[in-house]
Amino acid sequence: ASGTRRPNDPKGLRHSAARLFIDLARDGDRLGVISFHTFPTAYGELAQGRLTTIVGTEAKDALKATIVQPTEPPSDERLTDMRLALQMARDVLRANREGHRQFIVFLTDGQPWPPDQRRELIAAIDDLAADGVTIFPVLLGNDIDMGVAERMARRSGGLIQSVEQAGDLLAAYARIYGFIQTERYVDDVLLPDGQTGTFRTASEQGITRLSIVLPKLEEEDSAFAALTRNGEDLLGQETLEDGTTLLRSGDQHYEVISLANNTPISGEWTLKATSALEAGAPVALIIADSVDSLVMRFPAADKDGSPAAPRYYPAGKPVLLGVEVRQGTARMPGLEVQAILNEVQYPLRSDGLSGDGSLYWTILNPGPATPGEQKRVQIQIGRELAPVRLQKQFTLIAGEFPQLVADSPTERSPGLQEDGRLELRAHFEGDTPPQDAAVTAFITDKRSGQVTVIDVPCDLDGTCVDRSFEPTLGTNYDVTFIARGSVGETTYTDFAQGTLVMRDVLRLDTLPPILDFGRIPNYEESLTWDIVLTAYTDQQVELDARLELEVGGQPLPPGTVGLSLSRPTHRESNRYSSLLRLTGFDKLPPGEYTGRIYFESPAAVDLDPPSVAVRFTIPVPEITLTLPDAPDLGDIIRLGEPHEFNIEAEFSDGKVSDLEAQLVRLSADGNTVDQGDFRVNVGSATPVQSGSRRYLIPVRLVADERPRPGRYQGTIAFSSPDGKIVDPSRIQITFNVPRPITTIRLSSDRLDFGSAADLTDPISTMLHIQQSILDEPPPLTFTLEDVRFPQGEGNTPLPTLSVTSGIVRQAEDGSFRVPLFLRADGPVPAGSVEGAIRIDSPEDVLIEPARIDFVVRQLTPLEALGQRLSPGVNFLRTWFVPLPLIRWRGLVGWLVLLVLINTILRLRTSSAEGAGVVNAEESGQTVRLSGRRPLYLVLDGDVVQLSRNKNDQSRALAIITYEQQVDSNSSRLVWRPVLRPNPLAPEPVLVSVWMRRNNRWLLVKDEGKALWNGARFRLRFPQRSVRYHFRYAAQ
């Protein structure tokens, strides 16, 4: 930067602009600062010939601190020696190249002085351009040598930025980052009232770093009075809740807040400046780093490696714009990209020039333009109308260049060669073609969207030809030629377009020259042939066919053999399939048949081939059958039970050969069903009578799987495994599959659950079932309906009654029993509860009756007490009361009581054994048996729990109770724990005790098994192969 301080920058804003440029650098960037006037001055590490590598804020602050106003000589001795400054920059960059892209931001507010430095200045500029260094001249004020600035930009591919006043330098320096880094975007935020502005960032923009720049007055501590995101104040925070880091930096003329995150930064933002700035002016800058970088491919940059370089095109022609959006090296399809020219938006297409849609393009007409006239076009990712916009600016310059013209394919010259290939031909108009001309053809299949890219070589006279592309029949193509060439030192881009239309063709790929079906037994109902079609057309694919046949030189009447083609079915791309079917062979007499199938299409397409020859032979029958007339095989009830009928067979060669049979065309009640549930067995042949060539053969139909009920009709087809002809080969049969019946047996007109003291405890009764056809009842579901409770007191809500079923068990008489459990979820008023139980099954069975009535009586508390005492009162009255008349049975109780007292007195007195302990080995649960209360073993999830809760009795798997038994050794009555299986267990379980003497598990039956000290027992679930082990220990 020019080090002289002129009246146009009295506050030294050029130094602040340089510091802002450093603040916006990223880790890994390398920077150096040179100030020049009479002589150049290198700041920081550049004084030792090294660029400063940016690593964190410390490196930035150290480099910024070195930027001070250099000591100036007296005004009459001051020079503006640009030559020495650029020579110093050239030497430093050459010493620090190391494969990096290099740029120079050159700020000046004057002309080179003394004038005699111009020759060396121009040489330094050319050296830098030759080294690939891009120079961005920043011109402050009006006293500028535009020739020098234009040479810098033109030769190096840079861009001139002219600023009228020093206050604009901050924005000019910041915008340069948008040109040198493809993933960095610069946007303005308007402050309508001079202090407050808003902007928005969206997650789909992929912004991971955001820098907000505000000018600042020297006397202010901060440029920002407020900064919020989604209403949250961010000032004073270093790390936000989402992990975004916030960093503030700047100098006396600006402040920048930088936010960074590994994930996209999004939100609605509001900023407020500390002091009122120029109202409506774009004084706030946004610099956004996105994961999406924007690269313009067409027109190409005049200078390779410089995104800011202008792009030239022939004056008077439209411009083909082509851009790519990249994430790293990956090209990103499926985005919205638009071009903005003269404030008009032009959406970019993603089809036509790339098969994956990653090249976005459009054709723009910049309007009339004289050679050298510039047009500014903005390319934007997304459709945002307000900041932040991912937008970059490119410069289009019209020029007098040879224009590209497409010769073929065009409507006048399709360019098709005799070998089926396409001639791609284009040329440059004018007498002098461009230098280093390179033409690329983009060939787009208009049906599939597939794009083929071919480099078309050009000769010295500017004619470009390639004949390598082979087009597909029936396909239309768009061809876009894109050319790049040079005129003098200027590189420009041009394009031309062509089109190719091919005639529609439907190709039949799987047809041989002759469809030879060979020997066709006359029992063959039909023959098929798969045809694969390749459609080179955009029309609907349709195909018809007709058959012409003859035998012995005589034509057959049309329709003797039926021919049909299925509707073409799409498979992939332009491939279709159709099934050709021939029928009616059973109507043909023996002979050799020849003919031809002619194909037709209703659409105006060519067929390849249009026809195919066909031939086959109907041989003389070798096995003649005599079949019964549509036999009825009766009811099929049991699986595996054969249902038989007989056929007679005559073998033409006199030798018995095997027959095979298959059930086909099966229907039940008029609906087609799968015949896989059945098989047909053919028995051994026995002569009808001695010496006869006729044989009796049994045919058996067997059901392997349970078919659905219904009336069945089907066809049995006979064939010979030896390939002999069988005639006739088919017989119609009928049979019936009856519907299984599940009969519910009741002893009365309704199911009586009896009386219950408390219906919140389950009450049960046994339901008896008789099953026909099936070996066991199907799964049954029970649902309550129309439940009627007795009238309760007051407004007490009525409870809900539910019914569940237990395990189905078979009785000795062959019937089945299933326990039903009735339970209420709350108190039930005393009286009779009535209703119905609906019985359903997911299987196709008939349930009779499917609805049964039930009754259950809820006792009053007094009735419940009487029910509990009633057995004892009846017992005493029967055996101990001899009145009113002398009843001898009334005296029996007293006699028995005297004998019992006598026996007790004779027996030694015994006390109950101490309580024992039961331990569950899998869960580790231990429960002490006390008070002779039963212990219930209850399945809870995947664990068997030990419970003394009486409510668990109905769902217990096994029960341990204390019972008195006579000790065989001492003749004493002792209390012992007895283990029994629960007959009403919710699922099947086997209860066993380990017998050490026999070294095996002993199954515990209903009478139970007394446990001894150290006894081990287990529960085993046979359906799930799961076991639970327990141990009893006396105490």
**Residue range 456-469, pLDDT digits in tens:** 999 999 999 999 99
Query: Can you list the positions of beta strands (E) in 118-253?
Result: 134-140, 161-163, 184-189, 196-201, 207-215, 224-229, 232-233, 245-251
587 secondary structure, DSSP code: G
**Which part of the chain is CATH 2.60.40.10?**
293-399, 404-501
Q: What is the pLDDT of residue 279?
A: 54
Tokens for 768, please give them: 């008896």
Backbone angles phi, psi at 126, to 5 degrees: -65, -35
Q: Are 70 and 34 in contact (CB under 8 A)?
A: no
Q: How would you classify the pairing of strands 476-487 and 514-519?
A: unpaired
CATH class of the domain comprising 404-501:
mainly beta
Query: What's the start-to-end Cα distance of the chain, in Å?
Result: 102
Q: What is the pLDDT of residue 78?
A: 65
Helix axes 118-130, 146-156, angle to 10 degrees: 20
How far is C-alpha 508 from the geometric centre of its chain's CA atoms?
37
What is the 3 state secondary structure string of 664-712? EEEEECCEECCHHHEEEEECCCEECCCCCCEEEEEEEEEECCCCCCEEE
Smallest Cα–Cα separation from 1020: which of 1011, 1030, 1010?
A: 1030
Q: What is the pLDDT of residue 912?
A: 47
**Which part of the chain is CATH 2.60.200?**
916-1034
Smallest Cα–Cα separation from 34: which of 92, 102, 100?
A: 92
**Residue range 963-1008, pLDDT digits in tens:** 877 666 655 667 888 999 998 888 889 999 999 888 899 999 988 9
Q: What is the pLDDT of residue 545?
A: 92
Domain with residues 293-399, CATH architecture = Sandwich (2.60)
Q: What is the pLDDT of residue 758?
A: 86
Q: Are 1016 and 1033 in contact (CB under 8 A)?
A: no
Query: Looking up tokens 């000795």, which residue turns up?
Result: 812
SS3 894: helix
The CATH label, of 3.40.50, 2.30.30, 2.60.40, 2.20.25, for the domain at 623-737 is 2.60.40
Q: What is the pLDDT of residue 295?
A: 92
Query: Can you list the positions of beta strands (E) in 390-525?
Result: 390-399, 404-408, 422-428, 435-445, 451-456, 463-469, 476-487, 490-501, 505-508, 514-519
User: Using a CB cutoff of 8 Å and minimum separation of 24, what contacts does 44-52 make?
Assistant: 46/92, 49/91, 49/92, 49/95, 50/96, 51/92, 51/96
Smallest Cα–Cα separation from 402: which of 320, 481, 487?
A: 487
CATH number of 741-790+797-859: 2.60.40
Cα 71 to Cα 64: distance, rounded to the nearest angstrom = 18
Domain with residues 505-618, CATH architecture = Distorted Sandwich (2.70)
Backbone angles phi, psi at 930, to 5 degrees: -145, 155
Question: Does the pTM of the predicted model rise above 0.85?
Answer: no
**Which part of the chain is CATH 2.60.120?**
184-290
**Which part of the chain is CATH 2.70.50?**
505-618
Q: What is the pLDDT of residue 624?
A: 84
Q: Which fold has domain 916-1034?
A: Tumour Suppressor Smad4 (2.60.200)
Cα 866 to Cα 877: distance, rounded to the nearest angstrom = 15
Q: Classify residue 936 by burial, with Cβ atoms within 10 Å: 0-12, 13-18, 19+.
A: buried
CATH class of the domain comprising 13-180:
alpha beta
Q: What is the pLDDT of residue 399?
A: 93
Which residues of the chain, if any, have pLDDT below 50? 3-5, 909-913
Cis-peptide into 299, omega within 30 deg: yes
CATH class of the domain comprising 184-290:
mainly beta
Please count the residues of the chain. Answer: 1035
SS3 596: strand
Smallest Cα–Cα separation from 815: which of 766, 775, 770, 767?
A: 770
Q: What is the pLDDT of residue 4?
A: 47
Q: How would you classify the pairing of strands 374-381 and 390-399?
A: antiparallel
Q: What is the pLDDT of residue 639?
A: 81
Cα 1 to Cα 713: distance, rounded to the nearest angstrom = 101
